[in-house]
Structure 1
Amino acid sequence: MRLLPAIDLIDGKIVRLTEGDFNTEEQYGDPYEKLKEWQGRVPMLHLIDLEGAKAGEPRHLDVVRFAKTCGFFVQTGGGIRSEEALDAVMATGADRVLLGTKAFTDSDFLNRALAKYGDRVAVALDAYDGIVAVNGWQEATDLKDIDAAKGLVDRGVKTILYTDIGSDGKLNGPNLERMKALREAVSVTLIASGGVTTEADVEALQAAGIDEAVVGKALLSGQVSLDDLIEWEARHA
């Protein structure tokens, strides 16, 4: 299993939220310094523009560009709701770009994105109690996560990042029930996000057939170290 350390951004700072609530913001310093600290130690990075997700347009493309100069495989997203924004993010050299809100509200946009950028386009499927949320997790839809995932695969999406909002930032472990249900429903690359805190969480996700997992607050808060992450990935490769 591949593990992706996460950096979420607001106002040029690394932050973490709990359950996507912007009122729970905790700051963890400068992203450039963190990227330099991680450079050469881990290959992949999950870099999310939370400010952009809320505003509806990317706000931290400079950080994405810097991450690429550091040699990371960069998975990034947040606020990509126009073709111009998608082109701008792709121009940073990002390896995998996550579409969220727009993937569920504008089917033509998703079709054009996939046609233009192929497997570099992934979709962030964010859900609370199995119901898809959009607009920076602030708005619930009437879509069920399993139905949404199947629909994305039918459209040609090859990678889905699933965030269980109820687990995010709580350090209580991932929602294995939802991850197992999704794994049974779709056969594309599936990434778990939300609550991944211990090696036991990694083992459980791997046993469920999950391909990749994002580790955020547990790493930034010091509950686990980057060395832990590197060792876990090596043991579960």
Structure 2
Amino acid sequence: MRLLPAIDLIGGKIVRLTEGDFSTEEQYGDPYELLKAWQGKVPMIHLIDLEGAKAGEPRHLDVVRYAKSLGFLVQTGGGIRSEASLDAVMETGADRVLLGTKAFTDPDFLDKAIEKYGKRVAVALDAYDGKVAINGWQEATKLDDISVAQDLVKRGIETILYTDIGSDGKLNGPNVTRMKALRQIVNVTLIASGGVTTEEDVKELKMAKIDEAVVGKALLSGKVSIEELIEWEARYA
């Protein structure tokens, strides 16, 4: 099971939010310094442009380029709502690019993205109580997350990042029940995000046959070290 250290960005700084609420912002320093510290320790990272997600266009492509220059595989997203912004993110060399809002509001855009970039295109499916949220989690929809996931697979998406907004930033464990429900209906690379904090969390996700998990606040706050993350990944490979 692959574990992805997460860096969320606002104003050039690493931040974490609770349940996607921008008023809960906590800062954790400089992304360039942290990336340098992680270089050679983990193969892949998760870089999310929260400022871009709120603004509707990417704002931190320089950080993605820097991560690539250090040799990381990069999964990134945030604010990609036009063909031009998608092309700009792809040109950084990002290995996986997450589409969010636009994937649900403009199906034609998603289809064209898949046709152009294939498996490099993934979808960030963010939900609260089973309902999809868009626009940087600031707007709820009536879309059911399970039904949406099924439709994404039919359209050709091979990777889905699922964030349980109610668990995000709380350090109280992921929503394993929801991840199991998704696993039962989609046979694609499935990534868990939100609340992953302990080795037991990783073990439960592995038992649920989840392919990857994002670890954010637990790592940044010091509740888990990058070395522990590496050990867990090896243990539950």
Q: Secondary structure at the match of 1:173?
A: coil
Q: Secondary structure at the match of 2:93?
A: coil
Q: Secondary structure at the match of 1:108?
A: helix
Counterpart in the other structure of 2:71: 71
Structure 1: gaps of 5 or more residues: none
Shift of 1:185: 1.0
Q: After superposition, what is the alpha-carbon deviation per residue over 1:139-171, rounded to whole angstroms, capped at 9, x for unaligned? A: 011101100000000100000000000000000
Q: After superposition, what is the alpha-carbon deviation per residue over 1:169-195, rounded to whole angstroms, capped at 9, x for unaligned? A: 000000011000000010100000000
User: 2-side partners of 1:152 and 1:143: how far apart?
Assistant: 13
The answer to whether 1:60 aligns with 2:60 is: yes
Q: Secondary structure at the match of 2:234?
A: helix
Counterpart in the other structure of 1:19: 19
Counterpart in the other structure of 2:96: 96
User: 2-side partners of 1:140 and 1:26: how far apart?
Assistant: 23
Alignment of 1:209-228 (within 5 A): 209-228=209-228
Counterpart in the other structure of 1:233: 233
User: 2-side partners of 1:184 and 1:44: how far apart?
Assistant: 26
Counterpart in the other structure of 1:105: 105
**Normalising to structure 2: TM-score of the pair?**
1.00
Counterpart in the other structure of 1:123: 123
- Which letter does structure 1 place at the counterpart of 2:32? Y
Q: Secondary structure at the match of 2:223?
A: coil
Structure 2: gaps of 5 or more residues: none
Alignment of 1:1-237 (within 5 A): 1-237=1-237
- Which letter does structure 2 place at the counterpart of 1:59? R
4+ runs of 1 displaced by more than 6 Å? none
User: 2-side partners of 1:141 and 1:76: how far apart?
Assistant: 23
Shift of 1:94: 0.2
Q: After superposition, what is the alpha-carbon deviation per residue over 1:54-86, rounded to whole angstroms, capped at 9, x for unaligned? A: 000000000000000010010000000000000
CA RMSD of aligned residues (A): 0.3
Q: After superposition, what is the alpha-carbon deviation per residue over 1:184-230, rounded to whole angstroms, capped at 9, x for unaligned? A: 01010000000000000000000001000000000000000000000
- Which letter does structure 1 place at the counterpart of 2:193? S
- Which letter does structure 1 place at the counterpart of 2:33? E
Shift of 1:19: 0.1
**Normalising to structure 1: TM-score of the pair?**
1.00
Shift of 1:106: 0.2
User: 2-side partners of 1:209 and 1:144: how far apart?
Assistant: 22
- The alignment of Structure 1 onto Structure 2 pairs a total of residues equal to 237
User: 2-side partners of 1:144 and 1:111: how far apart?
Assistant: 20
Q: Secondary structure at the match of 1:190?
A: strand
